[in-house]
Amino acid sequence: MKKRSQASAVLFAGRISAAVALIWVVGYAGPISGAESKKPNILFIFSDDHAYQAISAYGDPRHLVETPNLDRLAREGMRFDRCVVTNSICGPSRATVLTGKYSHRNGFYNNTNSVFDGAQTTFHKLLGAASYQTAVIGKWHLVSDPVGFDFWQILPGQGAYYNPPMIRNGERVATEGYATDIVTDLSVDWLKKRDRSRPFLLMCQHKAPHRSWEPALRHLAADGGRVYPEPATLFDDYSGRGAAERDQDMTIERTMGDGDLKLVPPKGMKPEQLEAWNAYYEPLNAAYREKRLSGKDLVRWRYQRYMHDYLACVRAVDESVGRLLQYLDDEGLADNTLVVYSADQGFFLGEHGWFDKRWIFEESLRAPLLVRWPGVVKPGGTCRELVSNVDFAETFLEAAGQPVPAEMQGRSLVPILRGETPSGWRKSFYYQYYEYPQPHHVRPHYGVVTDRYKLVKFYGAGEGDYTELFDLQRDPQEMRSVLNEPGYSEVHGELERELLKLRSELGVPDSVPAEAMGGKASGGKGLR
């Protein structure tokens, strides 16, 4: 495979066994239904870089896009409003989903030189051993081939949007069309051909809406030339914070290239695809070139182009969700299928002048999470508890009636899905990001997150380590550190103690190996 170009959690480690969970079925679910007594099918739909702001059910004030099929999941299931990730970057997030473990435990730290160890315990292997038929289709992004699936067909590396090469059970295959549609077609085909005597786990994993945000041809004019509202922080000057925020390389102003902005067409298109592409973009590009924009006017133009393309990619993902839900309906499978929609992390849609992810800051840290499980999840519910992608593996295992291995570091969400938050649910969360300096020069950092505060420690950039403290209640956009402001010394002390406690419970080592940051395996960086 190609080398990839791109690219925490429990305060209490106790787990709820299936037997105890039976006692906790209260409220909406009532007694265990016939559907729940049978092992549920599991449909896990996973997109890449899909910001929660770009799902209309989350109610972003900019109203960026309508996503009727994702909204249906929220309406018929539960919307999680604080699903956070352990390490906000594509490959590490996927490794966490599979293993229920942090990067320092599953060995996949970054998108530069990490390779997933397929020999380790993963939830899909355990489901396979418990009679489930399993498949993963779409983006994999873990370098090594999938292990332990009955069927797999993946995009090598980051994958391409148009006519993407794929690998099917180890064999290279050619495909023609648009990646989101192809992944959906393959997923539906697998469902049609599956062994109907067994429950299934299908991981349908999209490339979209990952950079460089190449829309399906049918969506090029879908927004009707809309002018999108700008985020309040589009022209953030990063005052009130430290060197890391100023020194990054992920701004709309400086970092986006001609391919991102569709000033050149994508490679690999068929002639008829390229003709339709150019018919849309070239007149707009010619008008742009004539204006010779600079400064804030140029940033504004780039932001509008970014939103057009990114949100067009989201439209295709939403259509994919609709097709999969329709298949479940048509086949009478919906009542006994747990459907989960999420993304590998959040994404900046112009906030702070940025695109991409990586940071502990909210737009990057928070992933969308929508869960529908008829007879178990009360329709239209919302959850503000701190949940995480490190909880997904444990959730799937408990939903299937399987024990959770002690080595997993998350906690099953099944009690929450049933409407009962367990006593002792986490009030704080550990986060750590490693990859530096490429590709976006985001300084490595770790920290603790609560419902109100974030304590962040930046390290390993050779320019001195430093700490920041954010008060989300008073500063929801995270525009200034209050570490040295009057009245925060007690909070700071509490968070420092909590951070130490979480690191101890999670077994976080005191130093970071150089290879974790994407360098050679020599020495390491001590953490304080």
DSSP 383-401: E-S-EEGGGHHHHHHHHTT
In a domain, 230, yes or no: no
Q: Which of the residue ranges 166-180, 328-342, 452-466 would you say has the lowest mean pLDDT?
A: 452-466
Mean pLDDT score of the chain, rounded to an integer? 92
Q: Which two tokens stand for residue 184?
A: 């959906």
Into how many domains does the chain fold?
3
Boundary residue ending a domain (375, 391, 417): 417
Which domain CATH number covers 489?
Answer: 3.30.1120.10
* CATH number of the domain that residue 52 is part of: 3.40.720.10
State the pLDDT at residue 464. Answer: 80
Cis omega before residue 271 (within 30°)? Answer: no
Shared-domain flag, residues 88 and 166 = yes
Please say if the pLDDT value at position 18 is more than 80: no
The torsion angles phi and psi of 444, rounded to 5 degrees, stand at -55, 145
Q: Domain for residue 269, yes or no?
A: yes
At which of 257, 291, 306 does a domain end?
A: 306
Within a domain: 235? no
Can you give the C-alpha Rg of the chain in angstroms?
A: 22
Q: What is the DSSP letter of 342?
A: E
What single string gives the DSSP state of each residue in 361-377?
SHHHHEEEEEEE-TTTS
Q: Give the model's pLDDT for residue 460.
A: 84
If asked whether residues 495 and 438 sit together in one domain, one would say yes
Domain co-membership, 73 together with 198: yes
Of 282, 306, 330, the position where a domain reaches its end is 306
In a domain, 358, yes or no: yes
Q: Answer yes or no: do 99 and 194 share one domain.
A: yes
The Cα–Cα gap between 123 and 392 comes to 9
Same domain, yes or no: 299 and 331: no
Task: Note the pLDDT tens digit of each residue in 445-501.
Answer: 999 999 999 999 999 876 689 999 999 999 999 999 999 999 999 999 999 999 999
* Residue numbers of the domain that contains 274: 240-306
Spatial contact of 134 and 200, defined as CB atoms under 8 Å apart: yes
* Paired strand residues for 454: 449, 470
Clarify whether residues 384 and 514 are in a common domain. no
Report how far apart, in Å, the C-alpha atoms of 434 and of each of 302, 439, 444, 447, 513 are.
29, 12, 5, 12, 10
Is 6 inside any structural domain?
no
Judgement on whether residues 314 and 290 belong to the same structural domain of the protein: no
User: Same domain, yes or no, for 23 and 46?
Assistant: yes
Confidence of residue 528 (pLDDT cuts 50, 70, 90): low
Task: Give the pLDDT mean for 28-53.
Answer: 75
Handedness of CA 413, 419, 425, 426 (dihedral sign): positive
Q: Which residue has the higher pLDDT, 22 or 307?
A: 307
Is residue 33 in a domain? yes
Q: How are the residues of the chain apportioned to helix, strand and coil, as percentages rounded to the nearest 5? A: 35, 15, 50
Residue appearing with tokens 């909210």: 362
pTM above 0.85, yes or no: yes
Q: Is the pLDDT of residue 265 over 90?
A: yes
pLDDT mean over 347-351: 98
Whether 311 and 300 map to the same domain: the answer is no
Is residue 233 a part of any domain in this protein? no
Residue 425 confidence (pLDDT) above 90: yes
Confidence category of residue 202, pLDDT binned at 50, 70, 90: very high
257 vs 440: CA distance, rounded Å: 13
Which H, E and C letters describe 490-516, residue by residue? HHHHHHHHHHHHHHHHHCCCCEEEHHH
Predicted confidence (pLDDT) at residue 32 exceeds the cutoff of 90: no
Same structural domain for residues 115 and 203? yes
Amino acid making up residue 224: G
User: Does residue 12 lie in a domain region?
Assistant: no
* Res 78 pLDDT > 80: yes
